[in-house]
């Protein structure tokens, strides 16, 4: 009989005892707390359930797909990519063909495939933080070195400082999130173009650098998509999701638009038959109801703007938002923002303590949900705030969306 000293059943054995890669040690998985409260406004979900006609159409399409589940799905998802291309062409001011589009299980898998293709051991990626934390997490998960680039105090990107960081570090992949999560502000096209040119110059002679514009929230923007910037820029990628505007967070469908060579390249790392037949059928049904779903987006944009106006009227500082959420503060550092989060939760409303000291983030919900949130905010003690007197409206950020 062997010794029991090596048993893994004891409580003392943990992840630190496993041969985990060094860059993953001490890290935490991505996630947001889900608590059983009346109003949940912490994960940027679309609050409107899918309309009944769409639910019925999904049922029809999935029923048909179920008849063929003994066979593998279309591994290239040609029908789905064709419809996604039509949607982008209709809404994005830029003609996109099926050869320009790739789809995967959520925009996170799109990002993972891009990093598996263009990043990896010995290569680096840069993002301008605070921004979407999964860019850094997936970079580390693919063995790609992560560089945190600078932002201004108002959370905009200083094009000059960012270009200098790119010139210094010569990253292989550059992430630009617009509208930015968690702050909500959009990045002007001129800034994106400046960083694209800086990235190509920094990597001259190596094929250049890939620049990924993450447009997960673009349908909620006051401006327009940056899809037209794809013209004559083969190293530019625009990533999207159906989780937000399409109200399909549970579907897990993300996609990208790029030069056909990029689409060919990411297929080198995709898993076989990665998109199930059920996923493809459900996404196709949703795309048939685009006009209805974008009508909900317009309602949410109105509610988002109401939250901005009312929070400012209450004396809070608010970051300009082109997304379906609002970042507000300023509270007295990390302790103040966490205390405000707790007091709002005590009123039955869950918002996001997103790790930006002095700030919280709230998702735009239904009118009733937003009313409940505003009532909870009105009850906050004023001493939690720092420098913004009641009734004052802070000047908008210098950098506005296009």
Q: Which residues contact 286 (CB under 8 A, 6 or more apart)?
A: 50, 54, 58, 242, 246, 248, 251, 293
Give the predicted TM-score (pTM) of the model: 0.90
- Provide the CATH number for the domain formed by 74-275 in this structure: 3.40.640.10
14 contacts: CB under 8 Å, gap ≥ 6: none
239 burial (CB, 10 Å; 0-12 / 13-18 / 19+) is buried
Per-residue pLDDT of the chain (402 residues; tens, 9 = 90+): 444 444 445 568 988 899 998 878 888 787 666 789 999 999 999 999 999 999 999 999 999 999 999 999 999 999 999 999 999 999 999 999 999 999 999 999 999 999 999 999 999 999 999 999 999 999 999 999 999 999 999 999 999 999 999 999 999 999 999 999 999 999 999 999 999 999 999 999 999 999 999 999 999 999 999 999 999 999 999 999 999 999 999 999 999 999 999 999 999 999 999 999 999 999 999 999 999 999 999 999 999 999 999 999 999 999 999 999 999 999 999 999 999 999 999 999 999 998 899 999 999 999 999 999 999 999 999 888 874 443 333 333 333 322
Calpha distance 37→296 (Å, rounded): 24
Domains of the chain: which residue ranges?
Answer: 39-50+292-384, 74-275
Which pLDDT value is given to residue 11? 67
- The CA-atom distances, in angstroms, between 33 and each of 43, 66, 299, 352, 370 are 9, 34, 26, 9, 19
Cα angle at 73 between 71 and 78, to 5 degrees? Answer: 145
Q: What's the burial of 299, exposed, middle or buried (CB within 10 Å: 0-12/13-18/19+)? A: middle
> Does residue 269 have a cis peptide bond before it, meaning omega lies within 30 degrees of 0?
no
The pLDDT of residue 391: 36
Structure tokens at 203: 């990597």
Identify the pLDDT of residue 26: 83
pLDDT of residue 285: 98
- How many Å apart are CA 275 and CA 42, to the nearest integer? 28
| Angle, helix 277-288 to helix 78-91, in steps of 10 degrees | 30
Q: Which residue has the tokens 């007091």?
A: 343
Q: Which fold has domain 39-50+292-384?
A: 3.90.1150
Number of Cβ atoms within 10 Å of the Cβ of 67: 9
State the Cα–Cα distance between residues 118 and 212, nearest whole angstrom: 11
Task: Give residue 388's pLDDT.
Answer: 44
Given this model, what pLDDT does residue 10 score?
53
Structure tokens that stand for 91 in this block: 């809404």
């Amino acid at each position: 009989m062997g010794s029991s000293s090596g048993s893994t059943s004891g409580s003392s054995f943990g992840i630190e005892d496993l041969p985990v890669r060094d860059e993953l040690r001490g890290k935490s998985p991505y996630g947001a707390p889900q608590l059983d409260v009346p109003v949940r406004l912490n994960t940027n979900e679309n609050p409107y359930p899918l309309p009944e006609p769409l639910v019925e159409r999904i049922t029809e399409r999935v029923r048909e797909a179920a008849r063929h589940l003994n066979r593998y799905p279309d591994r290239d998802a040609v029908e789905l990519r064709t419809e996604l291309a039509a949607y982008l062409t209709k809404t994005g001011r830029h003609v996109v063909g099926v050869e320009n589009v790739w789809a995967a299980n959520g925009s996170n898998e799109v990002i993972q495939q891009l990093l598996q293709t263009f990043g990896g051991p010995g290569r680096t990626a840069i993002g301008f933080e605070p921004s979407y934390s999964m860019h850094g997490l997936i970079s580390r998960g693919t063995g790609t070195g992560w560089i945190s680039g600078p932002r201004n105090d108002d959370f905009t990107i200083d094009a000059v400082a960012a270009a200098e960081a790119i010139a210094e570090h010569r990253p292989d992949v550059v992430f630009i999130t617009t509208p930015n999560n968690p702050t909500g502000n959009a990045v002007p096209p001129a800034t994106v173009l400046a960083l694209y040119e800086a990235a190509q110059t920094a990597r001259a002679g190596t094929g250049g650098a890939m620049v990924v514009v993450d447009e997960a929230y673009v349908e909620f923007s006051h401006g327009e998509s940056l899809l037209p910037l794809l013209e004559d820029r083969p190293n530019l990628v625009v990533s999207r999701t159906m989780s937000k505007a399409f109200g399909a967070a549970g579907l897990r469908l993300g996609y990208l638009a790029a030069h056909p060579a990029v689409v060919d390249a990411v297929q080198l790392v995709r898993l076989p038959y990665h998109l199930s037949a059920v996923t493809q059928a459900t996404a196709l049904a949703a795309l048939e109801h685009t006009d209805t779903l974008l009508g909900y987006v317009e309602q949410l944009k109105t509610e988002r703007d109401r939250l901005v106006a009312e929070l400012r009227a209450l004396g809070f500082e608010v970051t300009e938002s082109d997304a379906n959420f609002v970042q507000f503060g300023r509270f007295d550092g990390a302790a103040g923002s966490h205390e405000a989060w707790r007091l709002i939760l005590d009123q039955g409303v869950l918002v996001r303590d997103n790790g930006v000291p002095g700030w919280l983030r709230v998702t735009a919900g239904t009118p009733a949900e937003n009313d409940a949130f505003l009532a909870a905010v009105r009850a906050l003690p004023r001493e939690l705030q720092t420098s913004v007197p009641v009734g004052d409206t802070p000047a908008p950020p210098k950098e506005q969306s296009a």
